[in-house]
Amino acid sequence: MRNKLFSLTLIICLILGMGIFLSPQKNESAMEKRVLSTNESIQFNNAFASSSEAVLKDQFYFRDDLTHSYYQIRTFLNRGINKVAKRVLSILNITEKSPVEGLTLNYLSDNVIEIGDGYLINKILEYTDEEVQLAADRGYNLNQFISMFPDIKTYIYFPTRLEELLNDDAEYKPLCREAFIRELNEDVTYSALEVSGVEDHKKMFFKSDEHWNAAGAYQGYSDIINMISKDYEIDPPRAIIEEKVFPYEFYGDIASQIGKIGETDHITDYALEGIKDFDFYVNEEEADFYHNKKQYTEEGNRTVFSDYDLYFGDNSFLREFDFHQEDKPNILIFADSYTNTNMQWIASHFNKTTVIDLRGRWDDFSLKQFVNENDFDIMLFTYSYNTMYFNSYLFISLD
């Protein structure tokens, strides 16, 4: 009887397992905002076992529901453990060490921390010798590239997040940034978003997404324009004439790491005064800059993509603005998704603006040749700290 029951159980498991490969499969996870492994990704070679296992994990029955429940339970337990730990410290009259005065770190998972009022940050940046050296290597490589174009004035802007400022020594001292900056020539000008504490972070970033909200994007834009205007005659930062707060609720990329636990966000945007008509191109093809914004305004998000990417546009390799202001300089901006929020605002101060996201791919593209063949007066590099210091795509080929 026991052998029959075991055999029956084995047969049922085998049928269910085979069913995963034969049933209709999902290509993307709306909850986790990522592409899932499907039958097409199975490799019939030495990687067969690992690739088929990935399909089983990604196509498992009721996967989204089970994943969401897992993170709910884990979050509940983590919050309970944190409360118990703080209560024990209180009873023993021991002060809990905190990187910033008044900041309570509530670990929801290994990677996600709640800092109060529903705001989430990623794991605090740990300044290991290896990571500091990697940041220095990036700074050296960037400086080598900049030095090839002595007639182009170069600026760097850091959109600071709280994670970059905190460390085990409880010091407001971004060591990776310091290592990066030490490799730059003295004629390179740099500035950074000022985040003096938790409340600043909350004002300028989404609750559950790593990107800055409209207020943060506007401050970054203002910092950049004020920095460049010390050397060039360009208009001062434009005034805000309207704030847009969309009713559609979404979970940002940080919340997606823990199964959409936490509070939802709303896309925010500003309309600025004095922005004239312009021509816009994506990968050298004429495009409608406002297309995504119009669609999101009317329909919200009906896709699996993040609301941020859907509204502000994806991370195309090459984007160009032509404001037809011949008396203004031309600028080349190297950016990541942060600048999707405010690149139009920045571009409105210049004649022609070219935005390159080096994380994209363009076959046979020579960056050195591209800069030499175009009439750029200014280069601006602005990346989130993780992209700036650690992303291998930003290691620029000098050929």
Q: Where are the domains of the chain?
A: 2-61, 69-122, 129-394
pLDDT digits (tens, 9 = 90+) for 305-335: 889 999 998 889 999 999 999 999 999 999 9
- Counting residues of the chain whose pLDDT is more than 90, the rounded percentage is 52
Neighbours of 110 (CB within 10 A): 11
pLDDT at residue 360, rounded to an integer: 83
What 8-state DSSP symbol labels residue 94?
Answer: -
Digit-coded pLDDT (tens) for 108-142: 777 788 888 889 998 788 788 898 999 999 999 99
Residue 13 dihedral angles phi and psi, to the nearest 5°: -65, -40
Q: What is the pTM for the complete model shown?
A: 0.80
pLDDT in tens, 149-188: 999 999 999 999 999 888 655 455 688 999 999 999 999 9
Neighbours of 313 (CB within 10 A): 20
Distance separating alpha carbons of residues 288 and 278, to the nearest angstrom: 10
**Would you state the structure tokens that stand for residue 184, as one six-digit string?**
């730059």
CA distances to 188, 282, 361 from 316, in Å: 27, 7, 9
Cα separation, 96 vs 106, whole angstroms: 12
CA distance 252 to 354: 28
The tens digit of pLDDT for each residue in 33-69 reads: 567 778 777 777 766 667 777 766 776 666 777 776 7
pLDDT of 77 reads: 64
Closest by CA to 59, choosing from 35, 92, 80, 83, is: 35
Helix, strand, coil in percent for the chain, rounding step 5: 40, 15, 40
Task: Give the gyration radius of the chain's Cα atoms.
Answer: 24
Nearest to 216 by CA among 262, 271, 161: 161
Residue 46, Cβ neighbours under 10 Å: how many? 8
What's the CA gap between 111 and 60, in Å, rounded? 24
Sorted by sequence, the CB contacts under 8 Å of residue 107 that are 6+ apart come out as 78, 82, 113, 114
Long-range contacts of 173-177 (CB under 8 A, 24+ apart): 174/125, 174/385, 175/127, 175/132, 176/125, 176/127, 176/131, 176/132, 176/135, 176/385, 176/389, 177/135, 177/385, 177/389
Contacts of 286 (CB under 8 A, 6+ apart): 279, 280
Q: What's the number of CA atoms in the CB half-sphere (13 Å) around residue 111?
A: 10
pLDDT exceeds cutoff 60 at 378: yes
Specify the DSSP class assigned to residue 106.
E
Distances from the Cα of 223 to the Cα of 177, 220, 348, 373, 382, angstroms: 18, 5, 15, 29, 12
Element at 75 (helix H, strand E): helix 63-91
